[in-house]
Amino acid sequence: MSDILVTENIQGASMNRLMNDLDVELDAYLWQNVNLLQKKIQNAKALIVRNQTQVNRELIDAAPHLKIIARAGVGLDNVDTHYAHEKGIIVCYTPDANSLSVAELTIGLMLALLRKIPEARQDTLTGGWNRVKFTGSELYGKTFGLIGMGRIGTLTATRAHAFGMKIIAADPYLAFDAPQLKQMNGKLVSQDELLSQADVISCHSPLTPHTKRLLTYQHFCRMKPTAFFINTSRGEVIDEKGLTQALLEHKLAGAALDVRETEPPKHSPLNQMENVILTPHIAAFTLEAQDRVVDSVCEDVRLVLSGKKAINVFEP
């Protein structure tokens, strides 16, 4: 039983150094075996996870020596942060390390949707040369609606603005004159206004009890039939069946999902839809972001275990 338990696939130069210097057990699949995890965590002082390990009350209760839970990533929906706080365990995360990568994937998905890149590729590979069939639309002049205008939303909006898109955002915690909106002539609107006005809608809110199923069938039906929907936040923020139904009824033009209600997802009618792009939760998976994420959690674990203050502490 080791001092530092790493329960998912978290690798890189900083992790190698941590393993050389300290007592670390890295088991990329441990998150799948809850009984074994509960045993192995008994003596652990630090736990390093991504988003698959469920760090709930039961797990925290099984870890009387735990000083720090380090989440390699941003969303903390898999960690009971309140209970950890109550128990005096520090929760760290990596708030800025992968935002840019998520923003860039979102822009990539938007371009792929509007220019039908995956469909055109598939058609060409099977012998087609159908130029007119794959006529797309420009981003320029279109309205981009962001649900959630935090770190990732803002970086995505800045890039969309550079393409000449008009920016609107719905975020209940943002002031109407927030500087991040002002600098790109963006407008704060209600979620209903955003759904009916935007040509592309992208979701960047966290998953909380308030945002679970924030968008249902009824919401997708309020979108323009020519509009596209992108989700790189968390799968449970939308009702996936509702989106599927709305797509089948042509209430919107297409969608791109990096995140799903269940991961890995079960078979879904979305798999057969030409106007849907599905990726396996890869938004944060770039070499650069992964290096930054692993550097950050390893640094915070070292600091806390040597009695110092961590850098990226999450306060619930």
- Residue 150 DSSP SS3: coil
**What residues contact 60, with CB distance under 8 A and at least 6 apart?**
66, 80, 83, 84, 87, 89
Alpha helices in the chain (DSSP H): 13-21, 34-40, 57-61, 81-86, 99-114, 117-125, 151-162, 179-182, 191-197, 217-221, 240-248, 287-305
Task: Considering the candidates 86, 249, 263, 288, report the single residue annotated as catalytic.
Answer: 263
Binding mask 280-299 for ligand NAD (x = CB under 6 A): -x-xx---------------
Task: Considering the candidates 234, 260, 292, 302, report the single residue annotated as catalytic.
Answer: 234
Backbone angles phi, psi at 15, to 5 degrees: -65, -40
CA distance 304 to 281: 30
Binding mask 233-272 for ligand NAD (x = CB under 6 A): xx-----------------------xx-------------
Site for ligand NAD in 172-201 (CB under 6 A): 172-174
CA distance 33 to 39: 10
240 is catalytic: no
Q: Which stretch binds ligand NAD (CB under 6 A): 22-30, 68-76, 119-127, 260-268?
A: 68-76
Site membership for ligand NAD, residue 102 (CB under 6 A): yes
- Positive or negative, the CA dihedral 195, 200, 206, 208 is positive
Within 10 angstroms of residue 178's Cβ, the number of other Cβ atoms is 16
On whether the CB atoms of residues 62 and 34 are closer than 8 A, the answer is no
Single-letter residue type at 205: S
Q: Which is nearer to ligand NAD, 3 or 291 (CB)?
A: 291
Q: E-assigned strands of 217-282? A: 228-231, 254-257, 276-278
CB of 182 to ligand NAD, least distance (A): 15
Q: Which is nearer to ligand NAD, 145 or 254 (CB)?
A: 145
Residue with smallest beta-carbon separation from ligand NAD: 150
DSSP 14: H
Among all chains, which residue has been given the structure tokens 């393409």? 163
Q: Which is nearer to ligand NAD, 30 or 284 (CB)?
A: 284
Task: Give 85: exposed, middle or buried? Use CB within 10 Å, 0-12, 13-18, 19+.
Answer: middle
- Residue 314 DSSP SS3: coil
CA distance 265 to 137: 30
Q: Out of 2, 7, 53, 99, point to the residue binding ligand NAD (CB under 6 A).
A: 99
17 is catalytic: no
Task: Considering the candidates 71, 151, 204, 281, report the single residue annotated as catalytic.
Answer: 281
On whether the CB atoms of residues 201 and 147 are closer than 8 A, the answer is yes
CB of 293 to ligand NAD, least distance (A): 9
Q: Which is nearer to ligand NAD, 45 or 151 (CB)?
A: 151
Q: Which is nearer to ligand NAD, 130 or 218 (CB)?
A: 218
Site for ligand NAD in 117-146 (CB under 6 A): none
234 is catalytic: yes
Binding mask 200-239 for ligand NAD (x = CB under 6 A): ----xxxx--xx--x-----------------xxx-----
Site membership for ligand NAD, residue 98 (CB under 6 A): yes
Q: With CB under 6 A, what is the number of residues at the site for ligand NAD?
A: 34
- Residue 133 DSSP SS3: helix
Residues engaged in binding ligand NAD (CB under 6 A): 73-75, 95, 98-99, 102, 147-153, 170-174, 204-207, 210-211, 214, 232-234, 258-259, 281, 283-284
Could you give the residue numbers annotated as active site? 234, 263, 281
